Copies of this chain bind each other. A is one copy, B any other.
Amino acid sequence: MGESLTESRTETTLPAPGGQRYAEPRQAAGTPEGRGTIGTQRDGRPAPTEGHEAATLLEWARAEVDPVLRTALGSLPGPMRRIALYHFGWERADGTAAEGSSGKAVRPALVLAAAAAGGGSEARAGAARAAAAVELVHNFTLLHDDVMDRHTTRRHRPTAWSAFGDADAILAGDALQALALRLLAQDPHRAAPAAAARLADCVVELCAGRHADAAMQRRAPAEVTLDEVLAMAEAKTGALLGSACAIGGLYAGASEAEVAALDAFGREAGLAFQLIDDVIGIWGDPHRTGKPVGADPAARKKSLPVAAAFASGHPAAAELAELYARPSERGDAEHIALAVERAGGRDWAQGQAADRMARAMQQLARAVPDPEAAGDLLALAEFVTRRAG
């Protein structure tokens, strides 16, 4: 979907030469400072803008959405409530209160920022249930992903299936999906039915993306095309960010074209995030703690830079194929990283990330032509791509 909406429209949103930096709509309105190179560290706090800092936006989103989430989770029957509260970090496994992290609230913040961009503070206030619904969907997929991937920790705690068993984690996920769609079914806002339909479509796309990822990991790396990996990443990562923005737009009464552009904005930013996350998964991020360097090569993951390396036709791709065919051994992550880099996978991924952010900016300018109104969405997109890893 995002792929069909990426044509350049305005001069101000074309990527700068070299593909490593992206121009921003806001530059036209008087914020000349560059926003850092994609995939590299920016020092300190975000530059002052017409909009708000991402950290503030996320904090506001938490404050607006958490009461709705807590009421929704509180409506669950006992055991389902307990698993859900544990997953959100609000209770320990024994049911006592906790102050754990329930995530960064990026998706609810996107819903609220998109609503505010199109309809001001009134639209923003009206979209709180929708923002909570999007966050519930995100968390339902995390619960099920953790079961399927056998992840043992999330947000510095044992995953729900580790604490309560597979069946209860599956059931709690099912219940959270139902809660999400119930929030929208009971929302009297006139945008609610369209938002519910969009969110349900998004769930289907997330499931398909999750399936494609698993199916791809089982195939030989040379058989997986770059387009397939990009499509998978868009479904798995881009779809929910896009839906969050589109749903915010619906609550602002945006036109169909604007909603489509908001969706494309979120999808492109999501893909940029995934590309950078994949780069960090191979080469790490020297400036921060996060994924250990080489985690993805050690797991023989077919991430985006790897798919690009295989598709390059470079001699290093053959070497890479050989390394991927061998059983994992100590130190081979470095060899893999080197082969991917020599085959051009790293440069491709970084250039592609910059390109995706440029496309995101184009879509944002289309959806919200006033740079001041678009400021918060831009700040969140930048946060999403900077925080990768």
Contact = CB atoms under 8 A, between A and B. Distances in A.
Contact of A196 (B144, B182, B215): B182
A166 interface: yes
Contact of A174 (B76, B77, B186, B203): B203
A173 to B, nearest CB: 8
A210 B184 CA distance: 25
Interface residues of A, number: 45
Contact of A205 (B77, B170, B194, B207): B77
Contact of A177 (B80, B174, B194, B196): B174
Contact of A77 (B173, B194, B204): B204
Given A197-B182, A200-B182, A174 B208 contact: no
Number of chain copies forming the complex: 2
Given A177-B174, A186-B197, A168 B204 contact: no
Contacts of A172: 207
A313 B210 CA distance: 53
Contacts of A321: none
Given A147-B170, A148-B166, A178-B177, A80 B207 contact: yes
A56 to B, nearest CB: 33
A171 B76 CA distance: 22
A311 interface: no
22 contacts: A76-B208, A77-B208, A78-B208, A80-B208, A147-B170, A148-B166, A148-B170, A167-B210, A167-B211, A168-B211, A171-B210, A171-B211, A174-B174, A174-B207, A179-B200, A179-B204, A181-B196, A184-B185, A185-B196, A185-B200, A186-B193, A196-B196
